[in-house]
Structure 1
Amino acid sequence: TPPAMTPNNGRRRRALLMTTITAASMIRRALSSVSPSDLRISSPATLAFSDPGRRSTAPAAPHRRPRPMPVALRRASLPLPTFGALRFVSLDGIGRGSEFPSHSSSALSASVEISASDDGTVGRHDDEGGGTDEYDWRTDPNLTDRFAIPTISMPSRNVHGATRGPLKSYLVTNMKDLEGVHPRIKAVVDHPESEGGEEKLILLDPATSFVDGEVEVEMSESKSESGDEEGGEDPTLSRLRSYLPGIDRDALLAVASLGGRPGLSRDVSVPPSRQTPSRLLSKLLPTSAHPVPSGFEQVGHIVHLNLKERHIPHRFLIGDVLLDRVRPRVRTILNKRGEVGGPYRTYDAEVLAGIDDTNVEVAEHGVRLRFDLLKVYWCTRLAGERTRMIRNDFGRGQVVADAFCGAGALCVRAALEGGCSVLANDLNPDAVEYCRENAERNGVGG
């Protein structure tokens, strides 16, 4: 279907509609001129283009899926130079969207603001008028998160029962501030004073273990003894309840029965290299830029952002932080400038970090596509729709007409996976060329 247009852009809508009608009319003429005698059996499968005098047969690429139907549609002599009558293999959905886990985190000291200027320089701005100096956020000790974690000491043989039972909802792995930390903080560690590994420490979430998050490590003997005398409560249970007032009494009773007792508070540090991009940005960006960017789309080696107006002054810092956390699988961070538009439905973008290379290679269902992300329209979210069409709407031996083929994702998959013959068209000459190359790359060009 043609791309959606705004109601106020009538002239553009009419021009696009006329282009669509023209393409559809040409496809109908091409199909009406094909008779059963025009079809012939050939092997391996080929992809026929409309270029006069051009026809070649390439062996189909090895693939685990069924081979395409060995039927080649004769070349159609169509006047539009950007029209290709194709016998195609299909390539679908490339790239995957991702999301940053959201975090609530306090910013740096109130007297310091860190940001990036338009030329990409990252600086620290001092409220006292000290100006701006160069700043490497990777070495800033203020970005390291530090937590005092309460623990329970327990015999090793009973740890599994405690962590899967009464303490399951109180473990450190449930901490909101540790979401996305990699590698993850372990809930059970060796006791530093235990010989032979007979004792373990179970790490707990301070938010659910302490009242108002306060860590109370020291316990007075008189308090335990008085509790024992007044209520006849087990001294170990009394100490656990005093040390961990946020944990349910029945859970602590079960812990005491397993030999658990208050352990030493454990300091846990999480450096920037283990934190998520959103957590780092929530501390690096000023409050005027909050909420921080919360998601991105990846296509090949490129991560593509749609930054809000409030993020633009800090875009290079955002790109630098994101690239640092997602490399090496990502080598370029882009930010889209403006909306998708123009006759070819493309957009302009700015490189925020990494290499200036927008030629990507994407793979889906065993098919590989190559194209320039800024020269052809591409939408990762259409991958599922392409898969649905091939599985439910297309049949082997059918002739499929794709009026807006782009880089050839649907065309190539329809031929390779669905066993169809494909007529492909696109107004964008770059898209036609990429479609042609991708068909040949996957063994169905002709």
Structure 2
Amino acid sequence: MAAGTWQKWYNGTWTEAGIGGRESNMTPVTADSPTGYTAPENEYKPTTPGWAGQQVASGAAPATSPLFVMDVTYNAHLGLYIAEPQNPDQSGNAPQEIYATRDLSTQKWFKLGDTGTYTNASWYRWFLDSANGTSSAIVGGSFRAYCSYGCSTELMSFQYVNLTIDTDSPAQAVDTSKRYTITNADGLLLSAAPDGTLSGATTVTEDTGAWTFHATGDGSYTITGADGRALGVDSSSTAGRAWDAPLTLAAADSTDVGQQWFVVPATGDAGSVRLVNRYSGLALGMNGTAALTTPQRTWDRGSDAGGVSSVLTTVAAQTLTLAEFRPSPATPTAAPTQAPTTEPTQAAPTQAAPTQAADPTAAPRASQGPLASTGTNVLVPVLVAVVLTGVGALALRRRARRG
């Protein structure tokens, strides 16, 4: 990143220079510490005498934060960003803690729970979506948590556990009882031709552009048209993961990861979303001639770099609005009993009408117990952990208590 193009998080804002600027020590949000960071007057200062341990002991610098060295992913089932930091307890006997935040721009992380009897001292970790086996950016309700170094036993330098974090109030990105138009920021609506070809159009009918979302139960959705066929990409080969892979309509199969989509809020564009294909991790985008899966963008591409190119080069092509499909009233004919012949159409909406997800973080709680015992009517996690080793498998299952 070029100097002057990025900032550090300090004292609650992203205003410090990326090079040479100050930075805050992030801390979990609790009732006693609602800011999520160490107060500036209590921060480490290079001019303070003494080595780190002495400064911490004297109160001149903060101790290692429970949020130290985090890996982060978006959990579509919860509608939250989740993270698994290194535990300050490096004995190897501490459980893996899981934290969450609604908004990365605020850095307010609260504890969801921990893995109970599964313990480690790892600092090198990453998430992986269980359904596609390739993506760490977005996961569903069940996912893998990988570990390198300091894993659950002295003999294990690499392993993963299967985790499930469930809740009584999962995120509801869309109302599955309604039909929607899918419109990008260029004003084009996703339209299906009779032969199944998909593209952007300025108007759609009930047959060509009314889409229904079906929840899979773990944060993703299948999307079907008026004829019941599902929108997706070919998941039988890696070609379905390529940039500009064409969208297809095929017989609906809720187990086909190529037909599963994550509905992800578009950062900085209230009411807009991106539809991210679960198989490829690419976003649905369209122009007047095609609808494709394309790399997620936060800026328009000015020129090709190294010859790498994509058909859709703008943010607008993939920034989408979901609006309820409302057929236009039929036009009556001269004969009162004759059915109207005019097919209703719907033009691109001029204002977003998204369905807001339930907010499971409305009352962030202070440090909670193991995921298996954090009963609450806001978030009731359930953990399933399977630790893979070279000689066998250890299954740990813990179930939530109702608070």
Please say whether Structure 1 and Structure 2 have the same fold, judged by a TM-score greater than 0.5.
Answer: no
Q: Which has the larger radius of gyration?
A: 1
TM bracket, shorter-chain basis: under 0.3
Higher helix share: 1
TM-score (norm: length of structure 1): 0.22
